[in-house]
Structure 1
């Protein structure tokens, strides 16, 4: 485990984000701005933790006075498995990106990813999801983390597409019966045009692209890549070239899920106005 910066014993309101890699994380900056706006003493670190080492990292951080953690790849399922208390959102996702440590040593898990995605699209991008045909690409932890949140918006149809068809089917089985769904084989095109395409794969991190029929982009209301970057991702560039009118990365989702984490720890939901713009300008 590598700590950046070192954690001092006994610090009040000490939190962190853990993952591997973690050096690129914007979470410390976001939470520092939240604390400043709320007038609260709040310390937030980033700690690189290898897969399989989370329990040890939690124990060390708790002994140092840590109160909670955000969790990113590849540790979300691990965080869920070692938690003592799980929210409905975490149970639905089978993964946790939020941990809170009680005075009794109990670990409470939640998942704020779905909240972050829905809030970014509905409030920041001013687009309702209710009654829309939504295509979700990917069936890994990122997709599971937002699945329940999307379903709760009552889309007219939720299309699921993944390289491994059986994993898309597994994802479909997690949906409530009331949610209309369609399994779309990877690289093929549904007869129903999606209004919103959400890329929950990690392919943009390496510059790769999901396999799909590019003709669908021009008629969408939004193409959304959950990966965030200082420049348009490969998926966003493809969508724009194919005529998509509105494209976005996941930076706003990151900010909104962080705000929900802050609320769960501190009891107040910080304003997120202009945070995304501040991040893009630094």
Structure 2
């Protein structure tokens, strides 16, 4: 009898997750028998849920918002090994239980790099990047983006306290930190936060906040898209997000949502769990159809 591998994705909210369908597509490529569940999990219930899944012999789990940083704390115990990229980001989206020592990783950055590579963009040498938001998603993508050799990466956030904590964690030379209000001409001009962006131009702008799903006021003024050739929203929905709409209205050459990254990071997770590298091109098409239902 073929063993059925058990997986799950943990988060809150979780109903919208496409991870079960994506991983079942991967499994079919190798004729693997799997189950993959969506498990609504609060921060308070995280440890109990993970320990239960370990006892129930799950092969592995994916982690989504708002739990990625909390799982890092859970994995900081002797029975876990943490990958270098997860250790740098202090944020985890993939846990494997099918080793002698449990393994925790973050595949978000690899997923983003693969998604960008699908566009024919292999590096960002000499480019200036703006990232909106400094939550767990940004922590996961930052180090892989730095390996693409940009000139600078600017990070903007509403909460200045969180921005300062992020700055203390990531001390790379070419990172600059900003009050997001500065991108709407309303800088609070606080110490230890860069100011004076009037003549700066960005080649790539990444939205790593969930605010684009809500709509409302734009996070930044239109002028920041003037020289931008690539706009990426890490969120995804049935229709283009407000951030994507703004970028398209400003004639940005390439505008994508987080769906390609989702598929590619899932492939990285699947490979980590099974040792098998799935083909993703067909799965991108499947995910796009699912989101349009």
Same fold by TM-score greater than 0.5: yes
Matched, 1:180 2:174: yes
Residue 54 of structure 1 pairs with residue 62 of structure 2: no
CA contact (8 A) 1:137 1:160 kept: yes
- Which of 125, 130, 133 is 1:135 aligned to? 130
How many residue pairs get matched?
Answer: 270
For 2:174 and 2:168, locate their aligned partners in 1 and report how far apart those are by CA, in whole Å.
Answer: 12
Q: Distance in 1 between matches of 2:32 and 2:208?
A: 34
Hey, what's the Cα distance between the residues in 2 that align with 1:237 and 1:52?
36
Whether contact under 8 Å (2:3, 2:33) holds in the other structure is no
Which position in structure 2 is the counterpart of 1:97? 93
Q: What is the alpha-carbon distance in structure 1 between the residues aligned to residue 119 and residue 238 of structure 2? A: 18
Q: 1:117–1:227: structure 2 CA closer, same or farther, 3 Å change rule?
A: same
Assess if the C-alpha contact under 8 Å between 2:263 and 2:284 holds in 1.
yes
Structure 2 partner of 1:111:
106
Out of 71-80 and 58-67, give the one that drifted further.
58-67
For the aligned residues, what is the CA RMSD? 1.9
SS of aligned partner of 1:184: strand
Q: Which moved more, 1:210-219 or 1:153-162?
A: 210-219
Any gaps of 5 or more consecutive residues in structure 2? 184-196
2:191 corresponds to: none
Residues 96 and 102 in structure 2, CA contact (< 8 A), matched pair in contact too: yes
TM-score (norm 2): 0.86
Trace 1:71-220 onto structure 2 (pairs within 5 A): 71-83=63-75, 84-102=80-98, 104=100, 106-121=101-116, 123-127=117-121, 128-175=123-170, 177=172, 179-189=173-183, 190=197, 191-209=199-217, 211-220=219-228
Deviations along 1:238-276, whole A, 9 cap, x unmatched?
Answer: 111222222110000000000000010011221111322
Q: Is the 8 A contact 1:11 1:65 kept in 2?
A: no
Q: TM-score, normalised by structure 1?
A: 0.89
Q: How big is each residue's C-alpha offset from its partner over 1:149-173, in whole Å with a ceiling of 9 and x where there is no partner?
A: 1112111111111112343343344
SS in 1 for 2:176: strand
Secondary structure of 1:188's counterpart equals helix
